[in-house]
Amino acid sequence: MAGDKMGDNTNGVLCLSNTDDFRKKLISRINRIAGQLRGIERMILNHVKCDEILNQVSSVKSALNGVAKVVLEAHLKNCVVHDIKAGLEEEATSELILTLNTLIEKKGKKINESNNSIIRKIEQQIETMRKSIEKDDCCSSVLRDISIIKGELDSMTRVILEGHVKNCLVRDIKAGLEEKTIDDFLYTINKMVK
């Protein structure tokens, strides 16, 4: 909401809908995402095939995109409409553009972290997002949280993908399994770039 840079909801508009049921459903979705993340961690610890782990990371990103769409819709219907009607169209549109740019921006930073470290950061961000929803902070802050989590998932994907290419792909091709290996790899990549 314009004027709501820190998410303090000072204009009296409920950013994330005016019902507790809406927030409960949103938190339930976030809890499922947190569960999926714990599943990925178990897969990594149990040395599950990289393709399967990457598919699960894609599923988490897809689930986050679903939450982002719901929150963005609530933001548009509640915050942006309210602010524009209140004569704050410049602030509302500027913040919306900033939020959208943050949400869709892809960062190609070099990764020096382990997957466990990345998972811990994502868990902390999920908890931050859950608390924001529970206290009805501005939906822009929830969308920024989603963007940060997606960036960390992209980092995890790059770490896993690099290891997969250098180890699994090479090993399986050397073992004469190139057709299945390439098919599996392309299937995984196609899911990742949706």
**Is 3 part of any domain?**
no
Q: Is it the case that residue 119 has pLDDT exceeding 50? A: yes
pLDDT (0 to 100) of residue 1? 42
- Of 84, 105, 85, 82, the closest CA to residue 93 belongs to 84
**Is 104 part of any domain?**
yes
Q: Is it the case that residue 130 has pLDDT exceeding 60? A: yes
Q: Is it the case that residue 106 has pLDDT exceeding 70? A: no
pLDDT (0 to 100) of residue 33? 92
In the chain, pLDDT over 90 holds for what percent of residues? 7
Per-residue pLDDT tens digits for 7-46: 334 445 556 666 778 888 888 999 999 999 999 999 988 9
Who has greater pLDDT, 119 or 8? 119
Contact 139, 53 (CB under 8 A): no
**Is 134 part of any domain?**
yes
Does the pTM surpass 0.75? The reply is no
**Is 149 part of any domain?**
yes
Q: Domain containing 168: what range?
A: 20-192
Contact 116, 161 (CB under 8 A): no
Average pLDDT of the residues in 84-95? 81
Average pLDDT of the residues in 127-138? 81
Q: Is it the case that residue 5 has pLDDT exceeding 90? A: no
Please give the Cα distance from 23 to 139 (Å, whole number): 11
- Of 157, 155, 55, the closest CA to residue 107 belongs to 155
Average pLDDT, the chain: 78
Contact 156, 165 (CB under 8 A): no
**Is 180 part of any domain?**
yes
Q: Is it the case that residue 105 has pLDDT exceeding 80? A: no
* 136: Cβ contacts below 8 Å, ≥ 6 apart: 9, 14, 15, 16, 23
Average pLDDT of the residues in 135-150? 79
Per-residue pLDDT tens digits for 157-190: 877 877 777 778 778 888 888 788 777 777 777 6
**Is 11 part of any domain?**
no
**Is 5 part of any domain?**
no
Who has greater pLDDT, 38 or 155? 38
Who has greater pLDDT, 1 or 114? 114
pLDDT (0 to 100) of residue 103? 66
In the chain, pLDDT over 70 holds for what percent of residues? 81
Which tokens sit at 126?
């999920």
pLDDT (0 to 100) of residue 4? 40
**Is 57 part of any domain?**
yes
Work out how many domains the chain is built from and give that number: 1
